[in-house]
Structure 1
């Protein structure tokens, strides 16, 4: 091709085409990367039963197995001043309301003094042999600090704890009531009477039973 005046002009067509293809490929790869990142991004569990935890033997366990039931989740300890009374009252409620619609779920924590120093398997065996408990025990967890147990953090994050310095239990045997859908509806500090807790848990269990009967 010649321009006016007879001087040849080099065609830029192939180079422009290559550049266009390269840009298109770059944009496409970038879009795929962003899409993959969003798809692989961990989704925040929507409820308590969506979490996985470790059992007392160190095995991974999904809390999904408790969905549809009421759960009283408790941070327990073997050598606290409240241990004997707490374990006996928790076992009484667990036995009275049964495991078909309700469970006490025990999470040992060793961050409150020297009240829980053993391994997870020892803690479970000690509680069962000493106090005759039959409710499920999980692996020893952290509640405070930079690496709290995610499932337990979900419980504490629900509440404001405006009268507390930090958004976590301040001692052993705090109790959190979780409904059949995995939402936390109430909590009690260690010194609150077990009778009022039992009444509220029993009311939730009655609702579960009535709902199941209505669905038949």
Structure 2
């Protein structure tokens, strides 16, 4: 009887797997925030999101954090959010603890956008949400400050490496936010 049950279960999984896969998007994942609490990314559904793997000791740190905070201040939090994911995979440029990272970015850059726990963004140990981003866009981060633009539906719209400034990305973000606002007005 248990063999038959296993067989039926396997068949169900084979039929349901493609359906479950189709319904997956960035906002279906759960992550740990910088303070150690589990957060469902579902809370960001319906907004435009710029997901960035950040580092405190990178040559791109100063320019990116300043510009990301300005973008958050100018566009967020009702229609837009920057989500920062510290990562120590590239040049070991994020060696600090979550508490130290949080303190550093608040004191140095006045960061108000959400930060999450330090994660791996590439390889076999990569965080599942980042795996989704890289698989969706087809490009894996190869350094700090990769930026993934995620639409209100949780689908990846675009991605840029660290040599592309936040200022260059901003028109893409603004366009998506504008479309979101217009869509919401039409629904009223």
Name the TM-score, length of structure 2 as normaliser. Answer: 0.90
* Residue 130, structure 1, aligned to residue 140, structure 2: no
- Cα distance between partner residues in 2 of 1:196 and 1:80: 19
CA shift in 2, pair 1:34/1:61, >3 Å: farther
Superposition CA RMSD, Å: 1.8
Note if contact 2:71-2:170 (Cα within 8 Å) is conserved in structure 1.
yes
- Cα distance between partner residues in 2 of 1:132 and 1:32: 56
* Residue 146, structure 1, aligned to residue 124, structure 2: yes
- Cα distance between partner residues in 2 of 1:132 and 1:204: 25
Unpaired runs of 5+ residues, structure 2, are: none
- Cα distance between partner residues in 1 of 2:46 and 2:104: 30
Report the 3-state secondary structure (helix = DSSP H, G, I; strand = E; otherwise coil) of the residue aligned with 2:83. strand
Q: How many residues align?
A: 182
Structure 1 residue aligned with 2:166? 194
Q: CA deviation at 1:159?
A: 2.6
Tell me which of 56, 61, 77 is aligned to 1:78: 56
Report the 3-state secondary structure (helix = DSSP H, G, I; strand = E; otherwise coil) of the residue aligned with 1:204. helix
Unpaired runs of 5+ residues, structure 1, are: 1-25, 162-167
- Cα distance between partner residues in 2 of 1:160 and 1:104: 21
Tell me which of 26, 32, 52 is aligned to 2:5: 32
Once the two structures are superposed, residues 69-114 of structure 1 have per-residue CA deviations (whole angstroms, 9 ceiling, x without a partner) of: 0000000000111111100000111110120000000000001113
Report the 3-state secondary structure (helix = DSSP H, G, I; strand = E; otherwise coil) of the residue aligned with 2:137. coil
Once the two structures are superposed, residues 102-149 of structure 1 have per-residue CA deviations (whole angstroms, 9 ceiling, x without a partner) of: 000000000111310011232122101111110000010012332110
Q: 1:103-182 alignment to 2 at 5 Å?
A: 103-161=81-139, 168-182=140-154
Structure 1 residue aligned with 2:42? 64
Q: CA deviation at 1:59?
A: 1.7
Structure 1 residue aligned with 2:184? 212
- Cα distance between partner residues in 2 of 1:180 and 1:113: 33
Once the two structures are superposed, residues 17-58 of structure 1 have per-residue CA deviations (whole angstroms, 9 ceiling, x without a partner) of: xxxxxxxxx3xx43333344546x985561000001111122
Q: CA deviation at 1:63?
A: 0.3
* Larger Rg belongs to: 1
Structure 2 residue aligned with 1:48? 26
- Cα distance between partner residues in 1 of 2:38 and 2:103: 19
